[in-house]
Amino acid sequence: MNRQEQQRFIRDLQEYTMKMTRDDLYQFEMLDMRNRDEEELDAVAQRTLERLTAKYVKRKTRADVEEIWKKLTEKKEPNKGE
């Protein structure tokens, strides 16, 4: 994992700090502190960062976004009092 990927993972995880458990938040804060100090992460820290990203950051595919858009924009027909 290079420095740019590390920064991207940390930036993505910053939006999910409110959803993290106490242990995950502690680990994330330690990783964030090391990132601010411009340290390279070792293999264990990289795996932790990847695990946290996989657990909290959910990527949407284009098909998912199009399906949601279709649901939001389709016109609903009013009930005609059958």
The answer to whether residues 50 and 61 touch, using CB atoms and an 8 Å cutoff, is no
The answer to whether residues 48 and 31 touch, using CB atoms and an 8 Å cutoff, is yes
Comparing CA positions, the residue from 3, 61, 66 lying closest to residue 49 is: 3
Residue 37 lies in a domain: yes
Q: Over the stretch 22-40, which tens digit does the pLDDT of each residue have?
A: 999 999 999 999 999 988 8
Q: What pLDDT score does 72 carry?
A: 87
Higher pLDDT pick, 82 / 57? 57
* Confidence at 58, pLDDT banded by 50, 70, 90: confident
Residue 27 lies in a domain: yes
Structural domain including 64 reads 3-73
Number of domains the chain contains: 1
Q: How many other C-beta atoms can be found within 10 angstroms of the C-beta atom of residue 59?
A: 8
Structure tokens that stand for 27 in this block: 């680990």
Q: What pLDDT score does 78 carry?
A: 59
Q: What pLDDT score does 68 carry?
A: 85
Residue 33 lies in a domain: yes
The answer to whether residues 34 and 45 touch, using CB atoms and an 8 Å cutoff, is yes
Residue 9 lies in a domain: yes
